[in-house]
């Protein structure tokens, strides 16, 4: 009877070990296969779909389809156009409407500002020398990439300057602009400026126009472009 008891106890112990091993394997299966799915690379011919959510909360970046002309043609599709609209430093994110007929810009790297000044010489000298035209309240630094200007009067000159939000006493020159080009008729225009004496416009700084005392244009129009630095805390 004692031997039988030992045999029975041994058999029960073996069964318990088998159950323990089976439970361990079952517990590890989701982790193992989940790891396999994470490493799986889709072939270019595959088009998987699912109704769940993608959780990339632990990642530092997520790559989406991108290229120089990555068309989107169905609702919910997005892509990154690395060539933008052919403008320097332009990158845009594309989305489409429900019918897939129109591709819209959801985000763009290129930032624009512009101003028009009518008869600057009608202003007093102090105003004409420190005319505020734009305030950078984006919360980010703007890096200028291009500046254009037009006027109906030839040989119109002015300086574009930058100064702190609450102190315009010592502005820094961004660019000296001379409007002296003309192909056919009005307007005269300045050769596009792409190199700046000071091309970084910090957050909360003002752009100021300083007009020549001698020139008497009726109107001056200028437009600038650049990109915002997003690496901020």
What pLDDT digit, counting tens, does each position of 69-88 carry?
888 888 888 888 888 777 77
HSE-CB at 205 with a 13 A cutoff on CA atoms is: 22
Residue with tokens 């970084």, as numbered in its chain: 200
CB atoms within 10 A of CB 68: 9
- Tell me what pLDDT residue 189 has: 97
Provide the whole-model pTM: 0.70
Give the model confidence (pLDDT) of 30-67 as tens digits.
555 554 444 556 666 666 777 778 788 888 888 888 98
> 121-126: long-range contacts (C-beta < 8 A, 24 or more apart)?
121/211, 121/213, 121/215, 121/216, 121/217, 125/213
CA–CA separation, 62 vs 158, rounded Å? 45
Sequence-distant (≥ 6) Cβ neighbours of residue 75 within 8 angstroms: 96, 97, 98, 100
Sign of the C-alpha dihedral, residues 196, 202, 203, 205? negative
Burial of 112 (0-12, 13-18, 19+ CB in 10 A): exposed
Give the model confidence (pLDDT) of 180-198 as tens digits.
999 888 899 999 999 999 9
Q: Tell which phi-psi region holds residue 16, choosing left (phi > 0), alpha (psi between -120 and 50) or beta.
A: alpha
**What burial letters (b/e) apply to 164-174, b meaning 16+ CB within 10 Å?**
eeeeeeebeeb
DSSP state of 98: T
Work out the percent of the chain whose per-residue pLDDT is above 90.
45
CA–CA separation, 82 vs 110, rounded Å? 12
H/E element holding 67? strand 66-67
């Amino acid at each position: 009877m004692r031997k039988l008891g030992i045999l029975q106890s041994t058999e029960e112990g073996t069964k318990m070990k088998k159950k323990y091993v089976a439970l361990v394997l079952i517990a590890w299966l989701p982790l193992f296969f989940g790891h396999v799915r994470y490493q799986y690379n889709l072939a270019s011919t595959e088009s998987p779909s699912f109704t769940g959510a993608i959780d990339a909360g632990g990642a530092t970046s997520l790559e989406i389809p991108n290229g120089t002309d990555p068309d989107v043609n169905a609702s919910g599709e997005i892509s990154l156009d690395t060539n933008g609209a052919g403008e320097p430093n332009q990158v845009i994110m594309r989305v489409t409407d429900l019918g897939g007929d129109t591709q819209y810009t959801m985000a763009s790297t290129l930032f624009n500002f512009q101003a028009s000044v009518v008869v600057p010489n009608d202003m007093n000298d102090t105003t004409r020398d420190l005319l505020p035209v734009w305030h950078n309240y984006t919360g980010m630094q703007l890096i200028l990439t291009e500046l254009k200007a037009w006027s109906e009067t030839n040989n119109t000159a002015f300086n574009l300057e930058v100064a702190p939000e609450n102190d315009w006493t010592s502005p820094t020159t961004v660019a000296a602009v001379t409007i002296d080009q003309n192909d056919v008729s009005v307007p005269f225009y300045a050769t596009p400026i792409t190199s700046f004496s000071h091309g970084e416009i910090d957050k909360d700084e003002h752009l100021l126009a300083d007009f020549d005392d001698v020139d008497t244009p009726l109107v001056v129009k200028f437009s600038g472009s650049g990109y915002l630095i997003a690496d901020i805390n």
